């Protein structure tokens, strides 16, 4: 009778076992970078080359879903709890695991910092800074213009304001391009600039995709929400999505319902952008068009 085989992967190697003993092993190189790379692949649900090699032409039971292609998944099998495999028995120290873990943490941080939506957040924040700078310069020039000042004294500031305004336009174009690439559904539904601001307020696309529609609806109205919770009165009906013409041009009596509609559709759009990557913008736009007609008739 053929003995049942189990595949068990530890941080230092992968092992082919029966119910009581290790039959075969492939150890990872004893280098922190090599260990880190394999831990990173495991995090990403990737099957390691060593796991493919050790299970070739062998029927195995596995205890990780990422390994289902290699064998039968059954994480309840008692073998996975009772069979002990110690790293020290193979010359691997806890210090090596510690060093590899530090490298893994750094890798995660670097990858997160390079993510496109975090770059988008920095651009939105930079755009706000530039707009504030432009407003300050414009206000200063307006006050200065009231004085009998020589033109040459004002001209440097006018040039600076012109440069800042050019950079604002350039940054807006870049935000629109990036949004159309990384969040196309959201861009179509609420506009790329408003969509980018929502992502910035949420702290990233992933976080926004996990938010309920009611939270997305009032992103940017945190002060009003805090005031409502502290003092009472009416809760805010909308945050930055109020900038959309379908909301700010609507009668006041309809704005709350339209804001809820957009909050719901934005929630669906960002989930598609993050998880499925499917283009559902036409479908969402059609739903919005129908619902807007119904709201306006009322």
Task: Give 186-217 pLDDT, tens digit per residue.
Answer: 999 999 999 999 999 998 998 999 999 999 99
Out of 182, 210, 229, pick the residue that ends a domain. 182
Q: How confident is the model at residue 150 (pLDDT cuts 50, 70, 90)?
A: low
Please give, one letter per residue, the 3-state secondary structure of the chain: CCCCEEEEEECCEEEEECCCCEEEEEECCCCHHHHHHHHHHHHCCCCCHHHHHHCCCCCEEECCHHHCCCEEECCCCCHHHHCCCCHHHHCCCHHHHHHHHHHHHHHHHHHHHCCHHHHHHHHHHHHHHHHHHHHHHHHHHHHHCCCCCCHHHHHHHHHHHHHHHHHHHHHHHHHHHHHHHHCHHHHHHHCHHHHHHHHHHHCCHHHHHCCCHHHHHCCCCHHHHHHHHHHCCCCCCCCHHHHCHHHHCCCHHHHHHHHHHHHHHHHHHHHHHHHHCCCCHHHHHHHHHHHHHHHHHC
Out of 113, 147, 168, pick the residue that ends a domain. 113
Task: Return the higher-pLDDT residue of 115 and 248.
Answer: 248
On whether both 40 and 129 belong to a single domain, the answer is no
Q: Given this model, what pLDDT does residue 1 score? A: 47
| Structural domain count, the chain | 3
Q: Is the pLDDT of residue 118 over 90?
A: no
> What percentage of the chain carries pLDDT values higher than 70?
96
| Residue 47 belongs to domain spanning | 5-113
What's the pLDDT tens digit per position in 33-83?
999 999 999 998 999 999 999 999 899 999 999 999 999 999 999 999 999
Q: Is the pLDDT of residue 185 over 90?
A: yes
On whether both 232 and 189 belong to a single domain, the answer is yes
Out of 113, 128, 151, pick the residue that ends a domain. 113
The model's pTM: 0.64
Q: How confident is the model at residue 91 (pLDDT cuts 50, 70, 90)?
A: very high
**Residue 141 belongs to a domain with what CATH number?**
1.10.287
């Amino acid at each position: 009778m053929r003995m049942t085989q189990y595949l068990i992967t530890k941080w230092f190697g992968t092992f082919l076992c029966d119910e009581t003993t290790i039959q075969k092993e492939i150890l990872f190189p004893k280098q922190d970078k090599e260990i880190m790379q394999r831990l990173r692949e495991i995090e990403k649900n990737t099957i390691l080359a060593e796991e493919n090699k050790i299970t070739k032409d062998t029927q195995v039971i596995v205890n990780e879903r990422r390994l289902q292609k290699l064998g039968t998944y059954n994480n309840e099998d008692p073998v996975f709890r009772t069979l002990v495999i110690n790293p020290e028995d193979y010359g691997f120290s806890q210090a090596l695991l510690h060093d590899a873990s530090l490298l893994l943490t750094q890798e995660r941080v670097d990858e997160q910092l390079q993510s496109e939506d975090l770059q988008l957040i920095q651009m939105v924040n930079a755009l706000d800074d530039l707009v504030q700078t432009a407003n300050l310069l414009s206000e200063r020039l307006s006050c200065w213009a009231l004085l009998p000042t020589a033109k040459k004294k004002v001209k440097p500031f006018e040039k600076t304001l012109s440069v800042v305004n050019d950079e604002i336009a350039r940054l807006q174009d870049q935000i629109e391009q990036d949004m159309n690439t990384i969040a196309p559904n959201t861009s179509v539904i609420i506009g790329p600039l408003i969509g980018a601001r929502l992502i910035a307020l949420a702290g990233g696309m992933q976080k926004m995709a996990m938010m309920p529609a009611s939270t997305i609806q009032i992103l940017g109205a945190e002060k009003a929400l805090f005031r409502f919770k502290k003092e009472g009165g009416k809760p805010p009906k909308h945050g930055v999505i109020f900038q959309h013409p379908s909301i700010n041009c609507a009668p006041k009596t309809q704005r709350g319902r339209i804001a809820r509609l957009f909050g719901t559709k934005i929630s669906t759009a960002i989930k598609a952008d993050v998880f499925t990557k499917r283009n559902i913008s036409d479908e969402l736009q059609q739903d919005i068009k129908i619902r807007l007609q119904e709201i306006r008739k009322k």
